[in-house]
Structure 1
Amino acid sequence: MKPKTYVLEKEYAVDRKTAWQLLADNNRMNLYIGLFPVSFSPAKQDGAEVFYREAHAKVLGLVPISWQEFPFQWQENDSYTVERRYLSGPLKRYTLKVELFDSGQSGTRVKLTADFVPLNPLGYAAIWATGLPAVKKIMRYLDDYLESGATDAFEAPQKPATAKVNLSELDRLSDLLGKSPVNGDYVEKLHRYLADKGDHDVAQIEPVQVAKLWNADLDDTLRVLLYATKAGLLNLSWNVICPNCRVSKIEHSSLSQLEQQFHCDLCGVNYDANFDQYVELNFSVHPAVRQAYAEVYCIGGPMITPHVKAQQVIEKGKTARFVIPEGEDALRFRVLQANHRVAVDKNADAASLLYNDSGWSQDLVSGSGDVIITNSSSADIVVALEYSDWNKQAVTAAKVTAMQEFRDLFSSEVLSPGQKIGIDHVTILFTDLKGSTLMYETIGDSSAYGQVRNHFEFLTGHITRNSGSVVKTIGDAVMAVFHKPEDGLKAALAIQKNLKAFNDTANEDLVLRLGLYSGAAIAVNSNDRLDYFGRTVNIAARIQGQGEGDDVIISREVLAQPMSAEVLSRADVELEEFSAVLKGIDGAVELVRIRLREELEIEEQAG
């Protein structure tokens, strides 16, 4: 059968970045243009050829077809290609290439090249009936975007909801949410979002995108979504993400369902679950409000892995050129499945790489221009140019479990007994009420306990306003957790700054010692509460004991972090560096004592 090639070109009054975000978001685009959803099997590899996934679908919901789908190849904001080799149905192969070119001052010329190879005469009919119309609808997708007046790719055209929204239930639960301590404007925005957005957007609610859409702070957006979950508007789930391909592998409705290890078939590696890299929080509309499903059309498209800037298949013995994006840092090349990595460094001299069965020819490659990669291994490979750092905007389990609202609203959301999940970076704050024993002796148990309870509320307020949460109280001490060191530092400084005013109001004379430390920890279930253990927790507790009162003790590592240094640069403080030998900790620990001056100003988030 002779192949059929169709080329469609058109110019659009939209910049290339926006055109890319629209056309490379294959799941959203294919849903809108009416393609059939697809189910995928785990990755396979036959001989020396690159791996693929078997895909299965039903044309028009009736005729079953299956194919091998090979990895997408793309250069961000430039082009992408996808190839399908059919195992059943009237076609033998289909390849689609999407290319973007600058046009005028801010326009983009879009070029689509679709190659169809029929298996039999029926294949020609299938091309005319479904194949070519689907390609034309891609162009129509951009037309509809421009006609809608949208200004952001997240506001792309959407297919109307497949199920009616239960408006009475949406109104009732929104009214209930409005009684929570959240911004009323956000309640109204969430109501409109759940009523008007397409199925894909309400079935997979991405907090970062919602915050961007609302022009809101991410933490404020998260608070609304958490309270909305408690009110019954939303459901929450935990997705286990592969650290390499960054694709969701398992979805759990509760933290208690997490397992310590998981497997990624695409990367061929087992991983230990990790709170701040591998477990992310997701939201979806509650079925009582609206039935919605996020149908899958592609499993390896560019917008599914937005951390990948470029990806190419390099056949054995062949060479490929990669364009290094300007102004991007912390990039690396990685071979999918083998997971061999090499860092991109602007100061490196080498502009070419050789890959063989044992790995890369060197550890660094230049990031100042194009890079040439030669595959001298015994098999085809897929090479990705990607960010080496995890997406800082991802809403990870480490971030959300450090929020006081999460602990207050979902206190039952804990790990299963005996389960231990690692966290690479967490910040622990310990506070101690100096002279509390004497206070109990002099004013009596009842009065002393009342003062302790009042000071707990004072501490909790400042901890919460700075995106932290109280893990537990130990006698008259508090243990708190923060996702970011700078948030813990801001909370500690605000506590000491406002303690005098609290004492004046409560007619008390309390003196506090505070210790702050960041590092790795283990999250566990302790007495049906989410708790933290490990060396970081031990050091935080010990350095608090180095306080003299009215001060904050931190490690030099915290001081060295840019965001922490910025917090201190805005405050009027005195720093004293010293070393201390802490009980149960090997070697001396380098510490910093922070004392506040009278005119200190600490910025806190609104409560």
Structure 2
Amino acid sequence: MTDVNIALLEAKLDQIAPSSAIERLRRRVVEADDAQLFRMNPYTFAEEEGIAPQQAVEVFLRASMAGLLRPDWALVCRGCGEYAQTLQNLCELGGTFHCAACSMTRTTALDEHVEVGFTVHPEVRSIRFLEPAELPLDDYFFRYTFSPNIVVRGVGESLVDYLRERALVLVRLAPGEEHAVETDVGVGWIVGSPRAMITVAGEPTPDRERRTVEVGFDGTQFLPRPTIVPGPVRLVVRNASDAVQPVLLYHTPIVTYFDYRPFLSGQGLLNTEEFRRHLGTEVVRPGTGIPTRDNTLLFTDLRGSTALYDRVGDALAFELVSAHLEALARVITRHAGVVVKTIGDAVMASFSRPVDAARAALAMAAAIHSSDRAEALILKIGIHRGPCLVVNVRDHVDYFGQTVNIAARVQNAAGGKQICMTAAVFEDLEVKNVFAGLGEVSSEQLSLRGVGEPWRVYRYTTP
């Protein structure tokens, strides 16, 4: 029987426009196991419920605004797969984070390290994961500590399943307590959480004598870090710290490399209009720039806008440009992007995927150039992708760096009714497929103002 505050649940739902997706979320809150309501991945929810991923993200954001869900910004270490830190707000995010399991400090990247999940609000339903110290060990390690979105490369199973199948020690040790397990180990490594490293190498000894290996947790890691031969072993783990310590040690025959199931990254959330509209007050701390490794930026401008004001007058020109900006914003939102800012009659937009920016550019051109005022509004578009910094500019999310500069310069290179793209954008396979069959896409080496070396720019002229 789940402990759900039905009256409060219904009150929260009344604040959200009804839809079939909202009803599915309601059913999950009432009926699902606690694990299904902790750090929910909206993309997984979308797949399970048969809805579009972006729709699931928007539903989860609306539910968060209503107080039904609570977003979690979780920093995952790409070295070990553990969650190093969980934050409640973007403003708590720093430029670096420390993984205790790896004993390494890493540079935060919004698209690589920040997983955004959603947990049911404790006032609506209390779930066991809100008290991690009291969780059963299987829950603590395989649902709370490690990311469920990681797949072990070459093995084809999730990291948590990989660890569960290979666990040798799964125990909670009181201060001074020890635990022993007897097992056979092959070549590889015995590693775990907290940090541990026992190397298994060489040829098995012919006598098959069981050897004892003792390691102790000192409050930070297990020591020593011995090398043993394959074969029978008695593994003794001791908690030498002054606190209760959950322990997972597992054997892996390979060095594990990770792939990732689709998840909502910090970058992906910032590129969601619903987030900007309702939770956009959550920005990075002033003076802090958070990197994103691969973001796509699109700039637009109008050809001859100054002449437009001279020709039709300020009032009509303002009306035309305002309608133009609104039309572009609708297209950007429809293609999974956000308007970062407008500068006069120009727009800067951000996308997580270059293919979304490319589709948006074509849709913008079609919308503007087919309108009854097409002769007055001639659009020029530029697109580039790459690393940049997410920054706080007057309490709004903005982007900084050479990627921004190049995207703006590429837009400057576009003529009327043209879309210009760097090779980083156009040579993406999905982008090439979008332009296939549309007509000629020319390319040239261009010197961009303020950018050192020439850049290859692809140019497409819209109908």
Same fold (TM over 0.5): yes
Out of 387, 391, 395, the position equivalent to 1:528 is 395
Contact 2:417 2:461 in 1 (8 A): yes
Contact 2:368 2:374 in 1 (8 A): no
User: After the TM superposition, which residues 168-567 of structure 1 pair with which residues of structure 2 at under 5 Å, given as runs?
Assistant: 168-178=7-17, 184-294=19-129, 295=132, 296-298=135-137, 299-301=140-142, 304=147, 306-308=150-152, 309=155, 310=162, 320=186, 378-379=226-227, 383=252, 385=254, 388=257, 390-501=259-370, 503-504=371-372, 509-567=376-434
Secondary structure of the equivalent of 2:124? Answer: coil
CA distance in 2, matches of 1:252, 1:428: 27
What is the TM-score normalised by the length of structure 1? Answer: 0.59
Contact 2:110 2:290 in 1 (8 A): yes
CA distance in 2, matches of 1:293, 1:452: 53
The 1:320–1:384 alpha-carbon spacing in structure 2 relative to 1, beyond 3 Å, is: closer
Please provide the CA RMSD for this pair: 3.0
Contact 1:237 1:283 in 2 (8 A): yes
Secondary structure of the equivalent of 1:455? Answer: helix
Larger relative contact order (CA 8 Å, sep ≥ 6): 2
Contact 1:237 1:282 in 2 (8 A): yes
CA distance in 1, matches of 2:304, 2:63: 42
Secondary structure of the equivalent of 2:79? Answer: coil
Structure 2 spans left out of the alignment, 5+ residues: 156-161, 169-183, 203-224, 229-249
Shift of 1:202: 2.0
CA distance in 1, matches of 2:81, 2:128: 21
Shift of 1:595: 2.1
Shift of 1:231: 2.1
Write out per-residue CA displacement over residues 27-65 of structure 1, whole angstroms, 9 at most, x where no aligned residue: xxxxxxxxxxxxxxxxxxxxxxxxxxxxxxxxxxxxxxx
Shift of 1:562: 1.5
CA distance in 2, matches of 1:552, 1:524: 27
Shift of 1:531: 0.7
Moved more, 235-244 or 280-289: 280-289
Secondary structure of the equivalent of 1:586? Answer: coil
Contact 1:256 1:414 in 2 (8 A): yes
Moved more, 169-178 or 396-405: 169-178
Aligned amino acid, residue 419 of structure 2: V
Write out per-residue CA displacement over residues 159-205 of structure 1, whole angstroms, 9 at most, x where no aligned residue: x32x2x222222232232126xxxx1101111111111122322332
Contact 1:429 1:515 in 2 (8 A): yes
The 1:392–1:433 alpha-carbon spacing in structure 2 relative to 1, beyond 3 Å, is: farther
Aligned amino acid, residue 389 of structure 2: I
Partner of 1:591: 457
Shift of 1:292: 2.5
Shift of 1:227: 1.2
Shift of 1:321: 6.0
Write out per-residue CA displacement over residues 125-166 of structure 1, whole angstroms, 9 at most, x where no aligned residue: xxxxxxxxxxxxxxxxxxxxxxxxxxxxxxxxxxx32x2x22
CA distance in 2, matches of 1:400, 1:552: 26
CA distance in 2, matches of 1:387, 1:492: 40
Secondary structure of the equivalent of 1:307? Answer: strand
Contact 2:39 2:72 in 1 (8 A): no
CA distance in 2, matches of 1:395, 1:379: 40
Number of residues of Structure 1 aligned to a counterpart in Structure 2: 384
Write out per-residue CA displacement over residues 92-131 of structure 1, whole angstroms, 9 at most, x where no aligned residue: xxxxxxxxxxxxxxxxxxxxxxxxxxxxxxxxxxxxxxxx
CA distance in 1, matches of 2:96, 2:333: 32
Shift of 1:474: 0.9
The 1:167–1:338 alpha-carbon spacing in structure 2 relative to 1, beyond 3 Å, is: closer
CA distance in 2, matches of 1:454, 1:508: 15
CA distance in 2, matches of 1:293, 1:495: 48
Shift of 1:471: 0.3
Contact 2:41 2:263 in 1 (8 A): no
Write out per-residue CA displacement over residues 363-394 of structure 1, whole angstroms, 9 at most, x where no aligned residue: xxxxxxxxxxxxxx953696475774551502
Partner of 2:237: none
Contact 1:166 1:288 in 2 (8 A): yes
CA distance in 1, matches of 2:251, 2:100: 15
Write out per-residue CA displacement over residues 272-311 of structure 1, whole angstroms, 9 at most, x where no aligned residue: 1110011111211223322223253334449855423456
Contact 2:299 2:408 in 1 (8 A): yes
Contact 2:73 2:88 in 1 (8 A): yes
Partner of 2:6: 167
CA distance in 2, matches of 1:568, 1:385: 42
Moved more, 545-554 or 165-174: 165-174
CA distance in 1, matches of 2:322, 2:401: 28
Aligned amino acid, residue 562 of structure 1: L
